[in-house]
Structures are given as C-alpha cells and as structure tokens.
C-alpha cells in the first residue's frame, strides 16, 4: 500500500511544485491561472489516490466530482474578472495592478 | 504500474510545457492534454465517473473558456516574461525532485492510517445517500458562479 501511495503522492507533489513555481514567477494573468489549474490537478490526483489505496474509491470519486464542480465555477468567475481587468487596464500584466488609484 | 508511471510523467511534462510555453494558446492546449492524461489515469484507477468528469469538463469546457478568454484579450496583451524563469526552472525542478524522493517516503510512513471501512454499494448510493450535502453545496456554488459572471458582465447604467 505504502509504495503505491508514495509514487502517486510524489507525482502529485511535483505537480504542486510546478503550479506554485508558475504562480511565483509568471507575470501574465492567464498564465497565473494556468498555474492554479495545475495545482487543482495535483489536488484531485492526491484525493483519488488516497481513496484508491484505502479501498474507498467510490467516496473519493464523489469528492473529486465535487471538487471539479467547484473548479469550473472558480474558472468561470476568475476568467470573467481577468477580462474585466483587461478592459480596464488594456493589459494582462500583473505589475500594472500594483497601483491602487481607485 | 509502468504505464501509470508513464502517464504520470506525461502529465507532468505537459504541465511544464503549459507554464513554460511563450504562446498562450499552446499553453491552454497543453493543459487540455494534461487533463486528458489525468482522466486516463483516473480510468485506470477504477474511477470511471471521475475520469469522465475530468475529460469532459476540465479538458473540454475549461479549455474552451481559456481559449475564449485568450481570444477576447488579444492585442497588445503580450506580456514579457523574464527569461531567467525558463533558465532557472530545470535547476529548481531537479532540486525539488531530489528533496521529494528523499523526504516523502519517511513522511508518508509517519501519517497514521485512520480507521475506516471499505466502500459498500454502488457509486450512486455513495453520491446520493452518503454525500447528499455535497450536492447541495455544488448547486450553491454553480449558482454563485452564474450570478458572479452575470454581475461581472452587467452593462453599466446610463447615469454611471
């Protein structure tokens, strides 16, 4: 049990690292959101793996489906906010969002 | 297990391609391929419903939303990323994998296994009977998403 869990969790932690690296270094708003998507993939992989090794795959599946619904809602809202920011500043650069001028 | 490891490696490679590619459209498509691979991994872990959701919703719908956003924000939106990010990434990646391999095994062994019983019944039983409140939460979140998108794209009144 532990070796399978170790392999899958190891891979999902690497995915988490890729996502966090993207969040820390990129400047494009859409790229940042792609980073968040990668982190959410890591989370769903970890959730399903835990169910798989504990013989609770049905419960893990229902949790993953709930997570995917939350993810879709988050994506729709965040992309709408990104489009509004683009209309406001004419750019997707996060460095232009540092000025709070109202 | 070998095929699973190959699929997981492909998932990580496409994710890296998604963050390091200069073209946003290429990034979105790499993300879709990564979701597709994750869906296949779910299928092979005996989780067909999660796999179907992952492929149809995440690889399909979310990619369409991303491409729509990229098309709507085209123009002078070419943000210059610093080149250092691409150069330093392999170094950080290798260091992280070494730390991961060294630390994870002992960490995983330290996590206590909680008592629990194996699943009983079908997937429908678990989803509709055990996790009923999750469904209510899902409905609430979908409604919240719909209303927030409506509020964000609302036309301004004339006096504003």
Which range of residues forms the domain containing residue B129? 124-154
Looking at per-residue pLDDT, the higher value among B146 and B121 belongs to B146
In the prediction, which pLDDT does A100 show? Answer: 64
Give me the interface pTM, i.e. the ipTM: 0.90
Same domain, B71 and B1: yes
Inside any domain, residue B96: no
Q: A90: distance to nearest CA of chain B, Å?
A: 7
3-class DSSP state of A28: strand
In the prediction, which pLDDT does B160 show? Answer: 54
Inside any domain, residue B159: no
In the prediction, which pLDDT does A77 show? Answer: 93
Domain residue ranges in chain A: 2-97
Inter-chain residue contact A69 with B141, CB threshold 8 Å: yes
B143 CB contacts (<8 Å, ≥6 apart)?
A: none
Inside any domain, residue B83: no
From the CA atom positions of chain B, what is the Rg in Å?
Answer: 21
Same domain, B6 and B70: yes
Total residues found in chain B within this entry? 160
Number of domains in chain B: 2
- Domain limit, last residue, from B50, B75, B100: B75
User: For the segment B131-159, what is each residue's pLDDT rounded down to a tens digit?
Assistant: 888 889 999 999 999 999 999 888 766 55
In the prediction, which pLDDT does A74 show? Answer: 93
CB-nearest to A11 from B1, B8, B79 is: B8
User: For the segment A41-99, what is each residue's pLDDT rounded down to a tens digit?
Assistant: 999 999 999 888 888 888 888 899 999 999 999 999 999 999 988 888 888 888 888 77
Q: B73: distance to nearest CA of chain A, Å?
A: 7
Distance CA B13, CA B50 (A): 22
In the prediction, which pLDDT does B115 show? Answer: 72
pLDDT > 90? residue B83: no
Inside any domain, residue B56: yes
Give the pLDDT mean for B16-35. 91
CB-nearest to A2 from B11, B45, B109 is: B109
3-class DSSP state of B153: coil
- Class of CATH domain A2-97: mainly alpha
Inside any domain, residue B21: yes
Distance CA B5, CA B9 (A): 6
In the prediction, which pLDDT does A93 show? Answer: 84
Inside any domain, residue B86: no
């Amino acid at each position: 049990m532990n070796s399978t869990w170790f392999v899958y969790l190891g891979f999902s932690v690497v995915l988490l690292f890729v996502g966090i690296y993207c969040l820390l270094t990129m400047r494009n708003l859409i790229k940042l959101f792609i980073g968040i998507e990668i982190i959410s993939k890591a989370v769903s992989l970890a959730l399903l793996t835990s169910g798989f090794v504990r013989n609770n795959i049905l419960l893990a599946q229902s949790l993953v489906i709930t997570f995917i619904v939350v993810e879709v809602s988050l994506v729709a809202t965040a992309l709408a906010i990104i489009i509004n920011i683009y209309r406001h500043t004419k750019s997707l650069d996060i460095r232009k969002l540092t000025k709070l001028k109202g | 297990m070998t095929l699973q490891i190959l699929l997981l490696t492909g998932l990580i490679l496409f994710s890296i391609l998604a963050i390091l590619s200069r073209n946003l459209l290429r990034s979105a498509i790499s993300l879709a391929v990564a979701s597709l691979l994750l869906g296949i991994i779910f299928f092979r872990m005996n989780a067909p419903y999660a796999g179907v959701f992952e492929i149809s919703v995440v690889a399909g719908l979310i990619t369409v939303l991303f491409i729509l956003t990229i098309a709507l924000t085209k123009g002078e939106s070419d943000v210059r990323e610093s080149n250092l990010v691409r150069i330093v990434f392999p170094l950080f990646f290798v260091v992280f994998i070494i730390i991961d391999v060294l630390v994870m095994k002992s960490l995983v062994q330290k996590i206590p296994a909680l008592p629990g019983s194996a699943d009983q019944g079908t997937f429908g039983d678990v989803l509709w009977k055990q996790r009923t409140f999750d469904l209510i939460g899902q409905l609430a979140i979908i409604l919240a998403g719909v209303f927030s998108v409506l509020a964000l794209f609302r036309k301004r009144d004339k006096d504003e």
